[in-house]
Amino acid sequence: MTRLRLQPGDEIRCTQCRRWHPVRKPYVEGTPYTLEMLMWTCPGRGDFYAGQVGHESRHEARRSTH
């Protein structure tokens, strides 16, 4: 499994469907912690926490190929 220090636009292998989804910063206002949160969306299943910007991913991850 590949883990890396996450940045917006990286991709996470979804724990729900096993496909790759991009991570994004969902908040533009909030505490310093929430402003660094990264989430991914699995269509039909919802939003999931991926980790914090610059910290090691909690799940298999890769740099975006797009």
What are 11-31's pLDDT values in tens digits?
Answer: 999 999 999 999 999 999 999
In the block, residue with structure tokens 């883990």: 3
Tokens of residue 5, six digits: 């220090």
Q: Which of 46, 37, 53, 38 is nearest to 17 (CA)?
A: 46
- 40, 8 in Cβ contact below 8 A? no
Is the pLDDT reported for residue 52 higher than 80? yes
Is the pLDDT reported for residue 49 higher than 90? yes
Helix (H) or strand (E) holding 62: strand 61-62
